[in-house]
Amino acid sequence: MPHPYSPSILLSQQDSHTHINTPSSPSFFPDTDHLLSLLSKQTATHSTLSPRHHVVRWISTLSKFHGFAALTTVLAVNYFDRFAATLRFQWDKPWMTQLAAVACVSLAAKVEETRVPLLFDFQLEESKFVFEAKTIQRMELLLLSTLQWKMNPVTPISFFQHILTTLRLKNSNFLCRCERLLLSVIADSRVMSYLPSTLAAAIMIHVVKEIEPFNATEYRNQILSLLKCSEEQVNECYKLMLRLLVCCEGIHNLGQKRKRLCEPSSPGGVMDASFSCDSSNDSWTVESVFKRSKVQDQQMRLRSVNRVSIDILNTP
């Protein structure tokens, strides 16, 4: 039985109230009540924020809750964006979005952090779905396979420390400011469409203007020269970034510290189908791609937590 708020039911309800009048019709003017109803309902079906924006905000909140480094957040978002760009990802399944986000943060933490929480602790209290450890582990393996185990991508943060050392900037807050600015705009997909070096240049130019206003032009030229960026692209990115900072807070307030073979309806079905697509790749053992193998080994051998949860793998 379809959900009472499913798109098909909503559409049929709307059609039942819609009547197209012609000039010859006695009631040519639209029904005022119907118009008011449409105006009141539009906010419930229209979102000014993309699903990705909500995911990145959730990832950032979780990372901040556990005190993770900025690079951990950026890595998690990178993993999610790359996975979401594949045909395996299904935006219309909310559980998949959340499960992928949990797995991305977990993998990013295993790559970057020295202390990694238990898998169950990668879920916030207000989360709509609660996944068992074995479910998260299977999604981690699916992510690793989909991303071809490339878990150390180049990010804007890769350039911050290099430029800081090369330019011999004495301000100790330079790196921190750059990371905070990156986290404040990372939820906007337009910003993340630029090359990491381009985004890094735009961010560093902005920060340099704040901490070294009298030498900003000189530093700007050096940054562009060192990173060999297109000045036009950097300027575009810089202007977009400024608009975002003016219009919204971003994720962190700057004032604060292959083709689908089928479409299974359940998480277990989706992951089983994805695993079958990669049956030629028999090696699913999590190897030493991570920095901290001890932590990883502990994580991959966790017991299921005895708590009311959604066992996605057993969903029919």
Topology of the domain covering 157-247: Cyclin A; domain 1 (1.10.472)
pLDDT at residue 277, rounded to an integer: 40
Q: Which residue has the tokens 């979102």?
A: 47
Quick one: 172 exposed, middle or buried, by C-beta within 10 A (0-12, 13-18, 19+)? exposed
* Residues 214-241 as b or e (16 or more Cβ within 10 Å = b): eebeebbeebeebbebbeebbeebbebb
Pair 137, 297: CB distance under 8 Å: no
Range list for CATH 1.10.472.10 in the chain: 51-152+262-314, 157-247
Q: Which of the residue ranges 4-8, 89-93, 123-127, 251-255 has the most confident prediction, judged by mean pLDDT?
A: 89-93
The pLDDT of residue 252: 44
User: 68, 148, 55: which is closest to 102 by C-alpha?
Assistant: 55
Beta bridge partners of 131: 310
Mean pLDDT over each residue of the chain, to the nearest integer: 73
Question: 């909503």: which residue's tokens?
Answer: 10
CA distance 13 to 7: 10
Most distant CA atoms of the chain, gap in Å = 79
> Among candidates 298, 312, 316, 247, which has minimal Cα distance to 102?
312
Chain centre distance of CA 251: 11
Smallest CA-to-CA distance from 196 within 149, 150, 233 is with: 233
Query: How many helices and strands in the chain, by DSSP H and E?
Result: 14, 0
- In the DSSP assignment, the letter for residue 119 is G
Report the range of poorest mean pLDDT among 32-46, 124-138, 189-203, 272-286. Answer: 272-286
Give the pLDDT confidence of 134-188 residue by residue, as tens digits.
999 999 999 999 999 999 999 999 999 888 888 877 667 899 999 999 999 999 9
Tell me which of 225 and 301 has the higher pLDDT: 225
Backbone CA torsion sign across 77, 79, 80, 84: positive
Task: Kindly state the tokens that stand for 214.
Answer: 């009298």
Which CATH homologous superfamily contains domain 51-152+262-314?
A: Cyclin-like (1.10.472.10)
Amino acid identity, position 111:
V
Neighbours of 297 (CB within 10 A): 11
Which amino acid does the sequence have at 255?
G
> Per-residue confidence at 7, pLDDT binned at 50, 70, 90?
very low
DSSP state of 156: T
Cα dihedral 156, 161, 163, 164 sign: positive
